[in-house]
Amino acid sequence: MATTLTLLFLIALAVTLALRLWLASRQIAHVRAHRNAVPVEFSGEIPLSDHQKAADYTVAKTRLGMLNAATDTAMILLFTLGGGLEWLWQLSSHLFNGDIARGLALVCGVTIISSLVSLPFTIVTTFGIEARYGFNKITPKLFIADLLRGILLSAALGLPILALVLWLMAKMGSAWWLWVWLAWTGISLLMLVLYPTLIAPLFNKFSPLDDASLKERIEALLTRTGFASRGVYVMDGSKRSSHGNAYFTGFGAAKRIVFFDTLLKQLTPAEIEAVLAHELGHFKLKHITQRMVLTFALSLGFLFVLGLLIDAPWFYQGLGVATPSTAMALVLFFMAVPAFTFPLTPLSSLQSRRHEYQADDFAAKETDSGELIHALTKLYRDNAATLTPDPLHSAFYDSHPPAALRIAHLKGARP
Ligand SMILES: [Zn+2]
């Protein structure tokens, strides 16, 4: 049984890595092949130089992604079959007493090592690629301050939650997975409420939208669509990056609308209204609730499976661990599962793209679809997003339909 699991795990890892590399190389080839001509639909609005910048930016990011995929796979192999996790567990057992303290030490060790491995990628992305294409605004000082704040926050929130999970796993008998799920779901919902008011302000400044005419426009849209929220805020996204965005945060009565200051600079008031109408569409059509319910259902399923595996010696042996423990089961499971679920990524992408079309339909009904088309074109141009993705790469990963299809849909020619 252990040997079978090892074999299946190796096959899943190899298939996942091969798929990631193959899709990335297709994306690079496709974007390069279309580098020298702006697609006709955009030729009036997007200059060739911007199109070429988008192509080079996409290729640079995709290349780094290939290296990242290879590094991830190597790290997972070293942790599991390479004996890294077993070594960390032995070390934790020498240093700490009690299962919960040892479990916390194991998870911290794994988190610290994987963060150190991914840090160079973040640095190259931010100060290499993003800087080269003119998007990076973050200073090394702020980068380090963010890093430290992130570490303190994950320690302050993560350690007590993890201790609770390990305690439930140890004390709640064979139905522990149900208890962990209940605790996890409760904490996630609580975080949704606390995030906008307590956590996000640690990283950014939020000020109420003060542009009177824009505010009036937005409030008219909110009233027209019957949307209640706790206000419209502007976030100082420009201190980190010139990429623009808008989002909703919180849920129930604590909902807020947040615009990046960069987006407000890029778009006209009518375009901003259309973008907001699209986001409102996601709420009105219950996309956000559906995603949340699906996530909770899937985590219940995964925890149930872990409940079946946790007492099976072959589960540990098959993944390179000699000493079973609850914390180890948790770590092994979350390390091994993505290799098996990766081929299912297109299902989630497909569902997400369906939601995007529906939200676009909503925006077209509530505002002017022409304004949304203008806004999308500007956002593609200013964010150097490629207009010519490889169709297979896009079908596999993209949460949003390619620009040309989305605009064709908005124009009424349904793809
Ligand atoms: Zn959307």
pLDDT digits (tens, 9 = 90+) for 31-83: 999 999 999 989 888 999 999 999 999 999 999 999 999 999 999 999 999 99
CA of 321 to the centre of ligand 1 (A): 43
Per-residue confidence band for 197, with pLDDT thresholds at 50, 70 and 90: confident
Q: Return the CA Rg of the chain.
A: 23
Q: Provide the pLDDT for residue 414.
A: 47
- Above pLDDT 70, what percent of the chain? 99
- Above pLDDT 90, what percent of the chain? 82
360 part of the active site: yes
Q: Provide the pLDDT for residue 243.
A: 85
The rounded distance, in Å, linking the Cα atoms of 251 and 197 is 12
CA of 352 to the centre of ligand 1 (A): 8
Give residues with Cβ within 8 angstroms of 388, minimum separation 6.
30, 31, 34, 39, 55
Residue 241 per-residue DSSP state: B
CA of 80 to the centre of ligand 1 (A): 38
- 192 by DSSP, 3-state: which? helix
pLDDT at residue 413 above 60? no
Residue 46 per-residue DSSP state: S
Strand partners, 260: 235
Give residues with Cβ within 8 angstroms of 280, minimum separation 6.
221, 222, 225, 227, 362, 363, 366
CA of 146 to the centre of ligand 1 (A): 28
Flag the least confident range among 15-19, 49-53, 213-217, 300-304.
213-217
Q: Are 369 and 414 in contact (CB under 8 A)?
A: no
CA of 350 to the centre of ligand 1 (A): 13
Backbone angles phi, psi at 83, to 5 degrees: 90, 5
Could you tell me the pTM of the whole model? 0.89
CA of 95 to the centre of ligand 1 (A): 48
Q: Provide the pLDDT for residue 415.
A: 42
pLDDT at residue 95 above 70? yes
Q: Are 221 and 277 in contact (CB under 8 A)?
A: yes
CA of 354 to the centre of ligand 1 (A): 10
Q: Provide the pLDDT for residue 143.
A: 95
Q: Are 415 and 409 in contact (CB under 8 A)?
A: yes
Per-residue confidence band for 192, with pLDDT thresholds at 50, 70 and 90: confident
Burial class (CB in 10 A: 0-12, 13-18, 19+), 187: middle
Q: Provide the pLDDT for residue 188.
A: 93
Q: What is the DSSP string of 67-115?
A: HHHHHHHHHHHHHTTTSHHHHHHHHHHHH--SHHHHHHHHHHHHHHHHH
CA of 278 to the centre of ligand 1 (A): 6
CA of 319 to the centre of ligand 1 (A): 39
CA of 409 to the centre of ligand 1 (A): 14
pLDDT digits (tens, 9 = 90+) for 294-351: 999 999 999 999 999 999 999 999 999 999 999 999 999 999 999 999 999 999 999 9
Flag the least confident range among 32-36, 242-246, 253-257, 372-376.
253-257
Q: Provide the pLDDT for residue 78.
A: 97
| Mean pLDDT for all residues in the chain | 93
CA of 323 to the centre of ligand 1 (A): 46
Per-residue confidence band for 112, with pLDDT thresholds at 50, 70 and 90: very high
CA of 279 to the centre of ligand 1 (A): 6
CA of 105 to the centre of ligand 1 (A): 40
Residues with CB under 5 A from ligand 1 (ion): 356, 359
* Residue of 146, 211, 261, 279 marked catalytic: 279
Q: Provide the pLDDT for residue 50.
A: 94
Q: Rounded mean pLDDT of 396-400?
A: 95
Q: Provide the pLDDT for residue 351.
A: 95
Q: Provide the pLDDT for residue 256.
A: 84
CA of 282 to the centre of ligand 1 (A): 7
Per-residue confidence band for 253, with pLDDT thresholds at 50, 70 and 90: low
Per-residue confidence band for 412, with pLDDT thresholds at 50, 70 and 90: confident
Q: Rounded mean pLDDT of 203-216?
A: 90
The rounded distance, in Å, linking the Cα atoms of 339 and 17 is 9
Q: Provide the pLDDT for residue 268.
A: 93
* Residue of 130, 273, 360, 390 marked catalytic: 360
Q: Rounded mean pLDDT of 357-366?
A: 95
Going by DSSP bridges, is the β-strand pair 232-235/256-260 parallel, antiparallel, or unpaired?
parallel
